[in-house]
Structure 1
Amino acid sequence: MKSICADLVLQRLAPEAGAALNRQLYNCLREAILDGSLPPSSLLPASRDLAREIGMSRNTVLHAYAQLQAEGYGHSRVGSGTFVAETAPDNFLSAGRPVTAAAAASAPVRLSKRAQTLLANASAAPVQWGAFMPGVPDVTQFPHRHYSRILHRLWRAPAPELLTYSHGGGHPALRTAIAEHLRVARSVRCDADQILLTEGVHQAIDMTLRMLVDPRETVWVEEPGYWGFHKVLQMDAVRVRPLHVESDDEGPGAGWPRGGKPPRLIFVTPSHQYPLGSVMSLARRRELLDFARAAGSWIVEDDYDSEFRFAGRPIPAMQGLEPDSPVIYVGTFSKTLFPGLRVGYMVLPRALAQPFRTAHADLYREGHAITQAALAALIDQGHYAAHIRRMRVLYARRRALLAGLIGEHLGPEYLHPQASNAGLHLVLRLPDGSDDVAIARAAQARGVLTRPLSAYYQRGGAQRGLLLGYACVQEEHIEPAFKVLLRCLQSSSSRAA
Structure 2
Amino acid sequence: MTRQFELETLKMRMNDADLQPLTLHQRIQRALRTLILDGALDPGVKLPATRALARSLGVSRDTVENAYVQLQRDEFIVRCGGSGSYVLETLGTELRGIAQGRRKLPSYSGAIDAAGAGLSQRGRMIFESGGVTDQQSIRAFATGLPETRNFPTGVWERLQRKALKDYRSHVLLHGDPQGAEPLRKAIATYLSLERGAKVSASQILVLSSTRQALFLCAQLLVDAGESILMENPGYLGAKRAFEAAEAKTVPVDVDAQGIRTDQLRADRSGANCVFVTPSHQYPTGAILSLERRLDLTHWAVENGGWIIEDDYDSEFHYEGLPTACVQGVDQHHRTIYLGTFSKTLYPGLRIGYMALPEELVSAFTYARSIMDGHTPQILQLTLARFMDEGHYTSHVRAMRKLYADRREVILDAIANHLDGIVTALRPAGGLQIPCFLASGWSELETIRRAATAGVLLPGLSRLYAGKEKQQGWLLGYASLTSHEIESAILSLSDSLRR
Moved more, 481-490 or 282-291: 481-490
Determine if contact 2:179/2:205 at 8 Å carries over to the other structure: yes
Q: Distance in 2 between matches of 1:110 and 1:211?
A: 27
Shift of 1:445: 3.2
1:420 pairs, out of 419, 424, 427, with: 427
Shift of 1:139: 1.3
Indicate the residue corresponding to 2:73 in structure 1: none
1:323 aligns with 2:331: yes
SS at match of 2:327: helix
Shift of 1:151: 1.7
Indicate the residue corresponding to 2:58 in structure 1: 72
Q: 1:400 to 1:253 in 2, by over 3 A?
A: same
Q: Distance in 1 between matches of 2:51 and 2:224?
A: 60
CA offset digits 1:132-187 (Å, max 9, x no partner):
11111111121111111122233347444422222340111100000111111101
Determine if contact 1:221/1:268 at 8 Å carries over to the other structure: yes
Indicate the residue corresponding to 2:139 in structure 1: 130
Shift of 1:245: 0.5
Q: Distance in 2 between matches of 1:65 and 1:360?
A: 55
Q: Distance in 2 between matches of 1:412 and 1:313?
A: 33
Q: 1:35 to 1:175 in 2, by over 3 A?
A: same
Q: Distance in 2 between matches of 1:188 and 1:156?
A: 33
1:379-458, aligned counterparts within 5 Å?
Answer: 379-411=387-419, 414-417=422-425, 419-432=426-439, 434-458=441-465
Indicate the residue corresponding to 2:266 in structure 1: 258
1:470 aligns with 2:456: no
Q: 1:292 to 1:413 in 2, by over 3 A?
A: farther
Indicate the residue corresponding to 1:181 in structure 2: 190
Q: Which amino acid aligns with 1:471?
A: A
Shift of 1:292: 0.8
Q: Distance in 2 between matches of 1:268 and 1:126?
A: 21
CA offset digits 1:93-129 (Å, max 9, x no partner):
xxxxxxx997x98965233444444444436346432
Shift of 1:64: 7.5
1:209 pairs, out of 196, 203, 218, with: 218
Determine if contact 1:243/1:257 at 8 Å carries over to the other structure: no
1:231-242, aligned counterparts within 5 Å?
Answer: 231-242=240-251
Shift of 1:41: 7.6
Number of equivalent positions: 423
Q: 1:410 to 1:71 in 2, by over 3 A?
A: closer
Q: Distance in 2 between matches of 1:432 and 1:405?
A: 21
Shift of 1:382: 1.2
Q: 1:37 to 1:215 in 2, by over 3 A?
A: closer
Q: Which amino acid aligns with 1:397?
A: D
SS at match of 1:137: coil
SS at match of 1:221: strand
Cα RMSD after superposing both structures: 3.4
CA offset digits 1:310-347 (Å, max 9, x no partner):
11122110100133531000000010011111100000
TM-score normalized by the length of structure 2:
0.76
Q: Distance in 2 between matches of 1:186 and 1:434?
A: 40
Indicate the residue corresponding to 2:355 in structure 1: 347
Determine if contact 1:297/1:326 at 8 Å carries over to the other structure: yes
SS at match of 2:240: helix
Q: 1:240 to 1:252 in 2, by over 3 A?
A: closer
Q: Distance in 2 between matches of 1:233 and 1:114?
A: 12
SS at match of 1:230: helix
Shift of 1:439: 1.7
SS at match of 2:338: strand
SS at match of 1:461: coil
CA offset digits 1:456-475 (Å, max 9, x no partner):
01211011110111101111
Q: 1:126 to 1:325 in 2, by over 3 A?
A: closer
Determine if contact 1:216/1:237 at 8 Å carries over to the other structure: yes
Determine if contact 1:174/1:375 at 8 Å carries over to the other structure: yes
Indicate the residue corresponding to 2:159 in structure 1: 150
Indicate the residue corresponding to 1:275 in structure 2: 283
Q: 1:37 to 1:438 in 2, by over 3 A?
A: closer
Q: Distance in 2 between matches of 1:489 and 1:138?
A: 27
Report 1 or 2 for greater relative contact order, CA contacts < 8 Å, sequence distance ≥ 6. 1
Structure 2 unaligned regions, length at least 5:
1-10, 27-48, 68-98, 109-116
1:63-142, aligned counterparts within 5 Å?
Answer: 68=54, 71-73=57-59, 108=108, 109-122=117-130, 124-125=132-133, 127-128=135-136, 129-142=138-151
TM-score normalized by the length of structure 1:
0.77
Indicate the residue corresponding to 1:10 in structure 2: none
Determine if contact 2:301/2:332 at 8 Å carries over to the other structure: no
